[in-house]
């Protein structure tokens, strides 16, 4: 009632105003009315078009693809670790490939899942150690429905430094560790109650395969996922020991030495196909075989003690080459897979038998003696991953220059130049492992004057500078990206 009372005086005014508007409208001519109607129609049409455009833009905005996730983004990349990007909509693969950039440029493969919501980039080689990369997606990248990505996307991702894996301790059951040479920070990779015997690293740097004794007197070869820590038993050796696992460059074949418990059975080399889950036994049962080692070009070398020669086996063609050698032991492949270097005893006289480094050329099938002089004992060759540089241990057989230990030397094979890097006469230097950039070496040294001292892992630059001890009582170092 109060509302009616308040507005009741106004009501006559409103009625009078409406009557005036009606009179004015009735006084318009026909052509004026036509213009007014057209203006009203134009305004409504413009309004409807604007509404439709806004609705279209809003719908397109809702349907446009968005980046939902990138993995990893908060943790460093390792080795050839894949990089994945997920989207809210199915994407056009060709459009993504044209607008996906990595700086610095790194070649690799793009693989899509079935729904085209996610792609994974796998680099052809390891990420640049210790650096950062910038990953970009340009807004020209489009979904399958041809809608563009909303805005340019960019991420900066760090790459892990190259680390050093090793076994520790040397005087009891060993476990597997990682150390950052720059910071000294250690990380435990695997601990086994019965101890880890030996190990290898997959080409992508993401898994480690190691052999370990089991409680029944046999052994296992176990695969360790470096990122998740998950362990998987690859091979069970209940009738003997499986030692010296070596993975092929493409990661498909695992070579290892099998040492049978059965009396009279010689150690042999077996090849395990990780995809087909099948085994291949090399050689014949009567021959004693060991020291399997893959070349970068996927040839496998191993030593035949019975027949006293190295064997080079191609798993694709099954072709075999042999190199007569009475010494055996570890050899080394050049980075291009063309050359194999090993040690051989040369019988100069009844009292002089030096050990020289022999280089076998698989292309020409020729042999070159790399050691110069008859009073030398050269062992433990290790090719650099960059060029034809060779690390090895040398000891003089000259009575006036003889020493208990063997020193670390480096040879430029192409230039035939040699130089010593160490001069600790009481120590044997061995287990030379080149850094992936070819500028640094890790090695193990043993005190020959005091055999009770534990082995030590050291680092040294290629030019002999910055020689430093890294680990006490450790052994079997291997670089891992």
CA angle (467 as vertex; 465, 471 as ends), nearest 5? 155
Looking at the fold, whether 73 and 149 belong to one and the same domain comes out as yes
CB–CB of 251/203 below 8 Å? yes
CATH number at residue 371: 2.120.10.30
What is the pLDDT, as a whole number, of residue 372? 84
Residue 229's SS3 state is: coil
Asked whether residue 6 is assigned to any structural domain, the reply reads: no
Residue 459's SS3 state is: strand
Pairwise pLDDT comparison (39 vs 261), residue with the higher score: 261
User: In the listed set 137, 158, 179, which residue is the last one of a domain according to the structure?
Assistant: 158
Asked whether residue 457 is assigned to any structural domain, the reply reads: yes
Looking at the fold, whether 299 and 420 belong to one and the same domain comes out as no
What is the pLDDT, as a whole number, of residue 7? 39
Pairwise pLDDT comparison (230 vs 11), residue with the higher score: 230
Q: Residue 40: in which H helix or E strand, if any?
A: helix 30-63
- In whole angstroms, give the CA distance from residue 101 to residue 95: 12
Q: CA of 421: how far to CAs of 368, 406, 409, 456, 476, in Å? A: 24, 11, 6, 17, 20
Looking at the fold, whether 171 and 287 belong to one and the same domain comes out as no
CB–CB of 419/410 below 8 Å? yes
CA angle (125 as vertex; 203, 278 as ends), nearest 5? 30
CATH number at residue 76: 2.60.40.3710
The share of the chain scoring above pLDDT 70, in percent, equals: 87
The reply to whether omega before 60 is within 30° of 0 (cis) is: no
CB–CB of 374/337 below 8 Å? no
Asked whether residue 316 is assigned to any structural domain, the reply reads: no
What is the pLDDT, as a whole number, of residue 416? 78
Looking at the fold, whether 185 and 45 belong to one and the same domain comes out as no
Asked whether residue 238 is assigned to any structural domain, the reply reads: yes
Asked whether residue 2 is assigned to any structural domain, the reply reads: no
What does the mean pLDDT of the chain come to? Answer: 89
Range of the domain at 102: 67-158
What is the pLDDT, as a whole number, of residue 3? 37
Looking at the fold, whether 443 and 390 belong to one and the same domain comes out as yes
Residue 21 in this model has a pLDDT that exceeds 90: no
Confidence of residue 186 (pLDDT cuts 50, 70, 90): very high
Write the DSSP string, 67-119.
Answer: EEEEESSSS-B-TT--EEEEESS-B-HHHHHHHEEEES---EEEEE-TTSSEE
**Weakest-pLDDT range from 14-18, 61-65, 452-456:** 14-18
The model's pTM is 0.84
What is the pLDDT, as a whole number, of residue 15? 47
Instruction: Show the tokens assigned to 187.
Output: 């990380």
pLDDT per position as a tens digit, 340-389: 999 999 998 888 999 999 999 999 999 999 998 889 999 999 999 998 99
User: In the listed set 63, 94, 120, which residue is the last one of a domain according to the structure?
Assistant: 63
What is the pLDDT, as a whole number, of residue 50? 59
Confidence of residue 215 (pLDDT cuts 50, 70, 90): confident
Q: What is the mean pLDDT of residues 406-434?
A: 95
User: In the listed set 63, 90, 117, which residue is the last one of a domain according to the structure?
Assistant: 63
Instruction: Show the tokens assigned to 39.
Output: 């203006």
Asked whether residue 314 is assigned to any structural domain, the reply reads: no
Looking at the fold, whether 292 and 213 belong to one and the same domain comes out as yes
Looking at the fold, whether 235 and 355 belong to one and the same domain comes out as no
- DSSP single-letter state for residue 16: H
Asked whether residue 294 is assigned to any structural domain, the reply reads: yes
Q: Number of folded domains in the chain?
A: 4
Looking at the fold, whether 58 and 127 belong to one and the same domain comes out as no
Looking at the fold, whether 329 and 440 belong to one and the same domain comes out as yes
Look-up: residue for tokens 């050689």? Answer: 283
Looking at the fold, whether 73 and 59 belong to one and the same domain comes out as no
- DSSP single-letter state for residue 424: -
The share of the chain scoring above pLDDT 90, in percent, equals: 78
Confidence of residue 42 (pLDDT cuts 50, 70, 90): low
Residue 124's SS3 state is: coil
Looking at the fold, whether 278 and 407 belong to one and the same domain comes out as no
Residue 110 in this model has a pLDDT that exceeds 90: yes
Looking at the fold, whether 474 and 335 belong to one and the same domain comes out as yes
Asked whether residue 13 is assigned to any structural domain, the reply reads: no
């Amino acid at each position: 009632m109060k509302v009616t009372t308040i507005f009741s005086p106004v009501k006559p005014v409103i009625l009078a105003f409406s009557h005036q508007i009606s009179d004015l409208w009735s006084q318009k001519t026909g052509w004026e009315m036509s213009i007014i109607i057209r203006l009203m129609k134009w305004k409504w049409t413009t309004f409807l078009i604007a509404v439709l455009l806004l609705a279209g833009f809003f719908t397109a905005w809702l349907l446009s693809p968005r980046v939902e996730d990138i993995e990893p983004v908060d943790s460093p990349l390792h080795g050839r670790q894949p990089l994945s990007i997920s989207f809210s909509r199915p994407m056009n693969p060709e459009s993504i490939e044209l607008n996906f950039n990595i700086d610095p440029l790194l070649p690799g493969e793009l693989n899509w899942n079935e729904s085209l919501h996610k792609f994974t980039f796998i680099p052809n080689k390891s990420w640049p150690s210790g650096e950062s990369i910038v990953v970009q997606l340009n807004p020209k990248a489009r979904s399958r429905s041809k809608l563009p990505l909303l805005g340019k996307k960019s991420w900066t991702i760090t790459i892990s430094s190259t680390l050093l894996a090793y076994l520790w301790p040397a005087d009891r059951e060993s476990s597997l560790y990682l150390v950052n040479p720059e910071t000294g920070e250690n990380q435990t990779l695997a601990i086994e109650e019965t101890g880890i015997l030996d190990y290898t690293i997959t080409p992508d740097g993401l898994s480690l395969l190691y052999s370990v004794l089991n409680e029944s007197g046999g052994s296992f070869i176990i695969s360790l996922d470096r990122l998740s820590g998950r362990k998987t038993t690859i091979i069970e050796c209940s009738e003997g020991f499986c030692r010296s696992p070596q993975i092929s460059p493409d990661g498909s074949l695992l070579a290892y030495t099998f040492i049978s418990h059965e009396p009279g059975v010689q150690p042999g080399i077996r090849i395990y196909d990780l995809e087909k889950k099948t085994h291949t036994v090399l050689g014949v049962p009567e021959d004693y075989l060991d020291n399997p080692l893959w070349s970068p070009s996927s040839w496998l070398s191993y030593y035949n003690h019975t027949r006293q020669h190295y064997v080079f086996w191609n798993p694709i063609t099954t072709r075999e080459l042999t190199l007569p050698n009475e010494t055996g032991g570890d050899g080394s492949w050049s980075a291009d897979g063309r050359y194999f270097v090993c040690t051989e005893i040369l019988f100069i006289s009844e009292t002089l038998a030096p050990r020289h480094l022999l280089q076998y050329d698989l292309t020409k099938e020729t042999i070159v003696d790399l050691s110069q002089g008859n009073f030398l004992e050269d062992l433990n060759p290790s090719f650099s991953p960059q060029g034809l540089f060779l690390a090895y241990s040398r000891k003089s057989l000259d009575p006036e220059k003889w020493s208990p230990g063997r020193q670390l030397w480096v040879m430029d094979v192409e230039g035939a130049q040699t130089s010593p890097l160490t001069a600790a006469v009481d120590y044997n230097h061995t287990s030379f492992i080149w850094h992936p950039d070819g500028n640094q070496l890790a090695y193990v040294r043993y005190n020959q004057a005091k055999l009770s001292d534990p082995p030590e892992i050291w680092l040294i630059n290629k030019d002999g500078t910055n020689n430093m001890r890294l680990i006490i009582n450790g052994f079997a170092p291997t670089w891992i990206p």
